[in-house]
Structure 1
């Protein structure tokens, strides 16, 4: 319920009163399970990002890290397209240094997967740098997609695919830079 309210109206639309009304519970229930409204919002945000993490993990398991990267990037952008209010909340959490719990874990797993590719000579940047570059590219396309008033409705699939291709080609196809 909190997730739907956050998605529809942002934090303003997901007040304690609104959540309690939809859930049919009293405010003490929120405080008992989540500590406070911020804790409930945080749980909803964490749950939302889990879908992106799962997309990476599933793709990486089935067809390797490259597919995982494409799937995760695609899932994040699809989320930004379908739920721009909620995506903006996730981005705000990231920008304030308080990202969803699974972000750090997902990036750690991506870095481990990329380390294997780096050791095999398939990745042309150090895995830690590659993860940062991937994260920058992903956040850039997600911000573009979730921006109010943009023409993202028409442009986002093409922009997402182009950015994904550019970043992945740079990481995996360019000559290895001098270290």
Structure 2
């Protein structure tokens, strides 16, 4: 099998597994069913993915790639906080539209998160939080802000997926969104002289984007670390 042929077969298997996952959930993705759906012999599947876990990791990466396409399509506006809201709403919509994918992507710590698309999705969120910090509107460090948004959003979607569709309260997702935004941002208010954490977060974000030439790399990293600790104090 040539490299090009192997890649085409791999893609066919991933797409077949993705369709089975969407239709019947994780239990429907057996190596036998995927091989049959893709018209491929089982030994070929094992040669390309190692085992079922390897296949599921590839399927989760495929899901992250689909999600990332939608995320990129949002673009950026002049208001990073509003961009965070739009990104949150997209995340919730994706999870409820593709629940089986979401459970695999975010419910299984081994599947997909380490893929290039999974890491890029995380970087997109961090970039939005970084922009909020650069605008002087972040109360915590970029890392903590991104982690809070990610953890809260994931918990909200998993909770909604586990709730019967006719019993879901979509206001719950909006309320959680506004709660986490209010907890990490200044709410658009001007910073006071004593608002040290927000100022520290903004300066740390600025230094990450535009390092100071007078500082060595080690000094720069140390200063940013101190500023992050002040922001999270």
Please tell me whether residue 111 in structure 1 is matched to residue 126 in structure 2: yes
Give 1:29's match in structure 2, choosing from 40, 44, 64: 44
What TM-score results when the alignment is normalised by the length of structure 1? Answer: 0.79
Instruction: Give the structure 2 partner of residue 146 of structure 1.
Output: 161
Structure 2 distance, partners of 1:16, 1:32, is: 12
Give the secondary structure class of the aligned counterpart of 1:61.
coil
Gaps of 5+ in 2: 1-15, 198-229
Instruction: Give the structure 2 partner of residue 2 of structure 1.
Output: 17
Please tell me whether residue 42 in structure 1 is matched to residue 49 in structure 2: no
Give the number of the structure whose residues are more often helix, by fraction. Answer: 1
Matches within 5 A, 1:74-93: 74-93=89-108
Please tell me whether residue 155 in structure 1 is matched to residue 165 in structure 2: no
The 3 A distance-change label for structure 1 pair 69 and 117 is closer
Q: Based on CA coordinates, which of the two structures has the bigger radius of gyration?
A: 2
1:144–1:152: 8 Å Cα contact kept in structure 2?
no
> CA-atom RMSD, angstroms?
2.7
Give 1:69's match in structure 2, choosing from 64, 73, 84: 84
The 3 A distance-change label for structure 1 pair 97 and 90 is closer
Structure 2 distance, partners of 1:54, 1:24, is: 28
Give the secondary structure class of the aligned counterpart of 1:20.
helix
1:59–1:69: 8 Å Cα contact kept in structure 2?
no
2:84–2:128: 8 Å Cα contact kept in structure 1?
no
What TM-score results when the alignment is normalised by the length of structure 2? Answer: 0.63
Return the offset for 1:123. 1.8
